[in-house]
Amino acid sequence: MAANYSEKVMEHFRNPRNVGEMENPDGVGKVGNPTCGDIMEMYIKVKDNVITDVKFKTFGCGAAIATSSMSTEMIKGKTIEEALKLSNRAVADALGGLPPVKMHCSVLAEEAVKAAIDDYLKKTTGKGLPGFKPSDGPICEH
Ligand code: FES
């Protein structure tokens, strides 16, 4: 099925920002969608509580790639607290919206950011993000 993607989604899908792996990341988040099998990995570098660099690898649909690309742009240069406020809806809005059947894909991006921060907090403070369970991945509906 061809979904109705906005120009901005297509642009990020064709030219995703911050793709790749990172050497010695301070936090790594890996989340998966158990139904469609799509996987997203996010790497962050943190200095003085600020996310100085972000990279991602996504094996997934166009919406998953576009939302991970957009979310890396939205959290780069932000503090941990600011990055935690990033919602999947804000990412979708920044992309000019997503077709309703693709909204759940954007949840993967929000979860990947949270998983990377959770990992960073565990490494630096010994405690993860309160209440965060990376295994509670979003469910794909097709
Ligand atoms: Fe699986 Fe989009 S994340 S179809």
Q: For 22-74, write each residue's pLDDT tens digit.
A: 999 999 999 998 778 899 999 999 999 999 999 999 999 999 999 999 999 99
pTM score, two decimals?
Answer: 0.91
Can 36 be counted among the known catalytic residues? Answer: yes
3-state secondary structure the chain: CCCCCCHHHHHHHHCCCCECCCCCCCEEEEEECCCCCCEEEEEEEEECCEEEEEEEEEECCHHHHHHHHHHHHHHCCCEHHHHHCCCHHHHHHHCCCCCHHHHHHHHHHHHHHHHHHHHHHHHHHCCCCCCCCCCCCCCCCC
The 10 Å Cβ neighbour count of residue 1 is 6
Is 61 labeled as catalytic in the residue annotation?
Answer: no
Is the pLDDT at 3 greater than 70? The verdict is no
In this structure, the residues whose C-beta lies within 6 A of any atom of ligand 1 are 33, 36, 38, 60-61, 63-64, 105, 108, 140
- The CATH architecture that domain 2-123 belongs to is Alpha-Beta Complex (3.90)
Q: From ligand 1's centre to the CA of 140, what distance in Å?
A: 6
What is the per-residue pLDDT across 91-141, written as a single tens digit (0 to 9) for each? 999 999 999 989 989 999 999 999 999 999 999 999 999 988 765 455 555
Pocket of ligand 1, candidates 105, 107, 139, 141: which has the most ligand atoms within 8 Å of its Cβ, to mutate? 105
